[in-house]
Amino acid sequence: MNPEPGPDVLVIGGGIGGLGSAFALARQGLHVRVLERAKEFGEVGAGLQIAPNCTRILAEYGLLDEAKALGVLPENMVMRDALDSRELTRLDLRDLERRYGFPYMVIHRSDLHGIFLRACARAGVELLTDRTVVGYEHTADGARVQLEDGRAESAPLVVAADGLHSTARRLLVGDDVVSSDYVAYRAAVPIERVRANGIAEKDVTVHIGPRCHFVQYALRGGDMFNQVAVFESPKALAGEADWGTPDELDAAFEATCDTVRKGIPLLWRDRWWQMLDRDPVETWVHGRIALLGDAAHPPLQYMAQGAIMAIEDGWVLARHHARSAGDTDWDAVLHAYEAVRVEHCRRVQTTARAWGELWHLDGEPRLRRNAIMRARDPYDYSFTDWVYGPTALTPDEEPPMFTPIPLSTAGTR
């Protein structure tokens, strides 16, 4: 009796990036197996912002209507000063949709994860839990992973989508995560609990302040309200191991406006997220092992592109497989994937770091930043075209970056 054929692709990690890539590859007729270390599939967190470069892919996958039914299409993105609440700039998200052809959406992280989980099941992806991968090795015709229980799995392609603290990244690259010394607190609460707090139910609002910021938007058809507080931790700066604690949260937002201060007590206080990323690396492909998503390019959250980049990675990988016209040359596919994605994601990672610095300015630099933002034309898309447009498949399709505006060009009034 012939043994059962193994998978064409092993995906390590069942988060949004892993399931997104598994579904993209399964749509190409490939036999895909996902190995997830947890005992069940799921996501922890609250809201996600999904820009047009991702809703475009969801539409192609036939998943956008389901996402719209579970999420919210906000009307504006509004940036305000966290101290005095003055509006600094905005994006008209309805006009943004007209420009890019697809909507800007906010959705609960677990809802988007569930959409991909169901899509994978319908597409015939093998979804296996309680499988902890502890080692990777190359084989003559692909790659093999070693499991904690002593078993091994192999395939012509292994996609390591195992997140910020990726085992594959540690073994293949060996670099460390980078701490920004910032921490995030989150919560999604029933909308009734915040209606008296001066919120804008139909907008994404970002209050930016000295060494802190606060994000608000509705979720789940407007029934829930997502809030995220991010601040620089004095304990982290002092080198203490236990940093980002609730006492620091309260102190960080003492001087902010009423809407922000009223939101702080509603945040979850039993968990918080240290804001970590990694320095960009040039090599994501090691033989037939490909890093994907946060394993390859974990960003800080300021551009709201982390989950999106992971979904784009899977889409690009699958599109290059489709171009191989039935006789898969995985080495060529992986070369094409790396050639375009490394530079794009480097841009997002470095821009996210710079954007975080800009948000958190104090003193005269804060006043100069505010003046530049208030002078911006709300319908100027020069700062979004490079990221919200169609996902590039080749380096020559990658659009030019924006031109930064130096703070020194602004006054302080």
For residues 95 and 362, give the distance between their C-alpha atoms in angstroms, rounded to a whole number: 32
Catalytic residues, by residue number, are: 217
User: Which residue, among 245, 244, 265, has the nearest Cα to 254 in the 3D structure?
Assistant: 265
Whether residue 217 contacts residue 47, with contact meaning beta carbons closer than 8 Å, is answered with yes
User: Which residue, among 363, 345, 373, 28, has the nearest Cα to 206 in the 3D structure?
Assistant: 373
- For residues 316-337, one letter each, b for 16 or more C-beta atoms within 10 angstroms of the residue's C-beta and e for the rest, the string is bbbbbbeeeeeeeebeebbebb
